[in-house]
Structure 1
Amino acid sequence: MANWIWGLPLVLLITGSGMFFFLFSRFLPFRHLPHSIAVLTGRHDQSGDPGLISHFQALSVALAATIGMGNIAGVAIAISVGGPGAIFWMWMSAILGMATKYFTCTLAVMYRGRDSEGVLQGGPMYVIVEGLGKKWKPLAIWFCVAGMAGCLPVFNANQLTQAVRDILLIPAGVEDLKTASFIIGLILMSITAAVIFGGLKRISHVVTMVVPFMVIIYVIAVLGIILINVEDVPKYFTLIFTDAFSANFFKGDAMFGGALGGLILLGVRRAAFSNEAGLGTAPMAHGAAKTSEPVHEGLVAMLGPVIDTLIVCTMTALAILMTGVWQSTESNGVTLTANAFESAYPGFGGYILLLCILSFGGSSLISYSYFGKKCFSFLFGVKRSWVYNAVYVATILMGAVSSLGLILNFIDFSFAMMAIPTVTSALILSPKVIKTSKEYFQRQRAEEQQSI
């Protein structure tokens, strides 16, 4: 089911809608990208704006979910199956994803609703009910059911466990890996539970501290790998572009009549897992931001794919390609990235990556709980949301001891089910976003002229 739905149906839906948003907006949000930085810093905030968290905290929660194992393990999986050309199609998907995030996250503030406790909330389910009307509620329920499944921590727990085993335990001579995986799962359960039962504010405070730290450490480490192999940078950038259309290294199933179709599909699929554009989790984070201007949150959300895919994923790809481990080993997932770090920094490279993985994966474990709980609360009420948290924590152990293939298919299918209602509602309401955007930027121009 995962392979079928991530064939023609989701490629048309995600890339087609991204292209539509990109062209329909006439590049309006892209022309104001510098303004998004100013909004992020809080320069345009107004005291008394409705919401729960700041723009920076909202972006941190969204990035904590996306700058996670998708950037370390997901990129490695893309290269091991598709070769360097997969990265080009991840870039293309990310650029279209910027437009998708602008529309979906602007809508998340335009059509906020109240939960069972009367607290203002945002997300695709509220966009559907408040923007399209009560008769569309089955579509909102569809999203929430898919969201509760897609936001389970099984992939992050699996790859965190694999990283600890391969980088720390196996070199140390630990032989009983099944028991080790079980113990790692229990530790991850305990840490996650300590944070997520504190609610959104505790989650946002934790990830606001962790996300900048983990990005800086990771970027510095990969920049070191790039500098060590700096003469190879033009070679591999060229290979990414040429292989994107030749698919010489593609090992997956052919799609749309050939290997190139399969490569494009792989790039779209892994980019969706990396930057989340169109899936619906980012609108839930940005819908909680303190703002009365929907456009503000759309502009801030656009920065997500830039940071996540165009910067962090590219750096992971260069580390894997320039060290040659993508051709010299049979490793996959997080282990392939670990091999790249160890190749560049013999003796301690794996430990640097392990530190990054613990930060990346840990923040993802924490952030996804908020999204899944929000879906559960929409269906069953906030007072019962502890039930989802309990299930969420329990499935960490399941992910720690399960196979990667099974987990990837489960998450891919669930994400596809989330994308359908998210993108459908955004397409229907897209004229509202354009109208709101034009009015906002007209006001901005008028204010600038008055100040002059």
Structure 2
Amino acid sequence: MEKIDNFISEMASLVWGLPLLMLLIGGGLYLIIRIKFLPFRYLGHAIAVLRGKYDNESDAGEITHFQALMTALSSTVGMGNIAGVAVAIAIGGPGAVFWMWVSAVIGMSTKFFTATLAILYRGKDSEGKIQGGPMYFITEGLGKKWMPLAVFFSIAGLVGALPVFNVNQLTQAINDILLKPAGLYNGFQTDLIIGLVLAAITAIVILGGLSRISKTASRMVPGMVILYFILVLVILVIHIDVVPKYLGMIFTDAFSANFYKGDTFLGGVVGGIILLGIRRGAFSNEAGIGTAPMAHGAAKTNEPIREGLVAMLGPAIDTLIICTLTALAILVTGVWQSSDANGVSLTASAFEESIPYYGKYGLLLCIITFSISSLFSYSYYGSKCMSFLFGAKNKGIYNYFYIISILIGATTSLSMMINLIDTFFAMMAIPTMTATIILAPKVIKEAKIYFKKLKRLN
């Protein structure tokens, strides 16, 4: 098992090297500059679209703008925000948060382009149903000769969409917060029971298809985001005297990397902390990876730019708001220096330190909701990849592999899970970003037409 763990770790380090960093961040910067920050001027309009002002039942698609964003957020708002941020701070210190922010701002632009393309170049599956996502905008936008790139994305998506990291960290949270203090933890046997319960809950929802997934996500996600915000606000009020200090450290340590404990990159610790922050930021908001466009591609709209604007809100909510809340809770309580815990256990320590007894249970409720909602949406992404590769009639087969992987995630090590998903996330980003950069002029042309029309209407 140790040899497999080491191999997966080396593989993750290899794919998350300079070429991928340049593709995600360099590509995202290129997209921002090419469109001259234009979508950022229409965030108010994006909120109006999200609220349903422009919904039209006769438009093509399956779900509303709101449901599309909630489905996308249900996969991104999860352990990446709670455990991923903790991992970043445990290794990189406060400065890692700054580079997560950079990743988010660039990611907003990337999401605008990828979600717009998901509507602009929707294709049809083998049953003739309209579908969206990187595999379709590659083949519809670039042509059939680019099919190998679409196939590569879909194969990577079969593994990248597996829920092993979320399940692993949810199992750890339930054990650390609930079962171990009560003396009910019994090692592998307990982990397996948790895995079986999660598999059963997931099966009930995902076997009902996208409609049930999106409706469940749109009910679960908003309430838990508000609860999480309130809990962290309480922690920040308790430690208000040190909040300015740590906000300042996020900026200063980003360029000094005084607390960085990981491997160097490009010959230095600053390079290492940049890579760490970008990597965890990408894992959190998935901008450029290609999962969210599969949800946004199902939105009921005939205006691609509208869905691009709605998708932009994802990284803002996910990374700029929720990840920052987690980071500040960990930093102001001091647990990042006083505790040896990592991942979700470190975040739990921060909540326990400030809100004894109730804090950790409130966090556990948020973790369970975020994680279970993630389990639902990732199954949809994986089944879409399965449908593209093997035909729509076979997409249901993926759900059974998916349910089995929940048991694996509940009973294996954290490092292996992080590195496995990181590796395949990186592989998904290569075709997504390559196609997005090539098709960027099409999005820019569409955006100029839409925003001119919008000005005339106003």
| TM-score, reference length from structure 2 | 0.97
Task: Please state how far the C-alpha of 1:346 moved relative to its aligned partner.
Answer: 1.1
CA distance in structure 2 between the partners assigned to 1:59 and 1:84 by the alignment: 29
CA distance in structure 2 between the partners assigned to 1:364 and 1:61 by the alignment: 9
Work out whether 1:137 is the aligned partner of 2:153: no
Task: Please state how far the C-alpha of 1:175 moved relative to its aligned partner.
Answer: 4.4
Task: Please state how far the C-alpha of 1:99 moved relative to its aligned partner.
Answer: 0.5
Work out whether 1:127 is the aligned partner of 2:155: no
Equivalent in the alignment of 1:428: 438
Work out whether 1:186 is the aligned partner of 2:205: no
- Equivalent pair of 1:98/1:305 in contact (CA under 8 Å): yes
Which of residues 36, 39, 62 is equivalent to 1:26? 36
Which of residues 80, 96, 109 is equivalent to 1:86? 96
Q: Could you tell me which amino acid in structure 2 is paired with residue 362 of structure 1? A: I
Q: Unaligned regions of 5+ residues in structure 2, if any?
A: 1-10
Equivalent in the alignment of 1:210: 220
- Equivalent pair of 2:122/2:130 in contact (CA under 8 Å): yes
Count of paired positions: 448
Equivalent in the alignment of 1:222: 232
CA distance in structure 1 between the partners assigned to 2:212 and 2:56 by the alignment: 23
Equivalent in the alignment of 1:51: 61
Equivalent in the alignment of 1:318: 328
Task: Please state how far the C-alpha of 1:46 moved relative to its aligned partner.
Answer: 2.7
Work out whether 1:276 is the aligned partner of 2:291: no
**Paired residue secondary structure (2:36):** coil
Equivalent in the alignment of 1:102: 112
CA distance in structure 2 between the partners assigned to 1:158 and 1:398 by the alignment: 8
Following superposition, which runs of at least 4 residues in structure 1 exceed 2 angstroms of deviation? none
Task: Please state how far the C-alpha of 1:348 moved relative to its aligned partner.
Answer: 2.2
Q: Unaligned regions of 5+ residues in structure 1, if any?
A: none
**Paired residue secondary structure (1:52):** coil
Work out whether 1:198 is the aligned partner of 2:208: yes
Task: Please state how far the C-alpha of 1:45 moved relative to its aligned partner.
Answer: 2.2
CA distance in structure 1 between the partners assigned to 2:367 and 2:185 by the alignment: 22
- Equivalent pair of 2:156/2:425 in contact (CA under 8 Å): yes
Equivalent in the alignment of 1:73: 83
CA distance in structure 1 between the partners assigned to 2:211 and 2:342 by the alignment: 36
CA distance in structure 2 between the partners assigned to 1:175 and 1:307 by the alignment: 35
CA distance in structure 1 between the partners assigned to 2:447 and 2:162 by the alignment: 34
Q: Could you tell me which amino acid in structure 2 is paired with residue 94 of structure 1? A: A
Which of residues 173, 177, 180 is equivalent to 1:167? 177
Percent identity over paired residues: 62
CA distance in structure 2 between the partners assigned to 1:3 and 1:213 by the alignment: 36
Q: Deviations over 1:282-316 (max 9, x none)?
A: 10000000000000000000000100000000000
- Equivalent pair of 1:148/1:375 in contact (CA under 8 Å): yes
Which of residues 100, 115, 119 is equivalent to 2:125? 115
| TM-score, reference length from structure 1 | 0.98
Q: Could you tell me which amino acid in structure 1 is paired with residue 178 of structure 2? A: L
- Equivalent pair of 2:74/2:377 in contact (CA under 8 Å): yes
- Equivalent pair of 2:305/2:447 in contact (CA under 8 Å): yes
Q: Could you tell me which amino acid in structure 2 is paired with residue 148 of structure 1? A: L
Equivalent in the alignment of 2:381: 371
Q: Could you tell me which amino acid in structure 2 is paired with residue 146 of structure 1? A: A
Q: Deviations over 1:45-101 (max 9, x none)?
A: 234110000000000000000001000000000000000000000001100000000
- Equivalent pair of 1:61/1:208 in contact (CA under 8 Å): yes
Equivalent in the alignment of 1:413: 423
Pairing of 1:321-360 with structure 2 (within 5 A): 321-360=331-370
Equivalent in the alignment of 2:413: 403
- Equivalent pair of 1:108/1:122 in contact (CA under 8 Å): yes
